[in-house]
Structure 1
Amino acid sequence: MVEFNLQQLGLEAGGGALIGGIIGFAAKKVAKLVAIIVGLELALFKFLETRGILEVNWTAIGGAAQNATQGGGAAAGQPPSWIVSLLSALPVSAGFATGFFVGFKKG
Structure 2
Amino acid sequence: MLDVDPTTTGLEFGGGAVIGGVLGFATKQVAKLLAIVIGAQLMAFRYLESQEILIVDWNRLTAGLVGAQEHAQEEIHWLESMLSMVSVGAGFTSGFLIGYHRG
TM-score if structure 2 supplies the norm length? 0.85
Distance in 2 (alpha carbons) for counterparts of 1:85 and 1:106: 24
Figure out how many residues of one structure are paired with residues of the other and give that number: 103
* 1:61 Cα deviation after fit: 1.1
Moved over 4 A (4+): none
Distance in 2 (alpha carbons) for counterparts of 1:19 and 1:101: 11
* 1:33 Cα deviation after fit: 0.6
Extract unaligned runs of 5+ from structure 2.
none
Match of 2:93 among 88, 93, 97: 97
Distance in 2 (alpha carbons) for counterparts of 1:40 and 1:85: 35
* 1:66 Cα deviation after fit: 2.4
TM-score if structure 1 supplies the norm length? 0.82
* 1:68 Cα deviation after fit: 2.5
Amino acid at match of 2:63: G
CA RMSD after TM alignment: 2.1
Say yes or no: does 1:17 pair with 2:17.
yes
Amino-acid identity (%): 39
1:65-106 residue CA offsets vs partner (Å, 9 max, x unmatched): 223224434x268x34x853651x311111001111111111
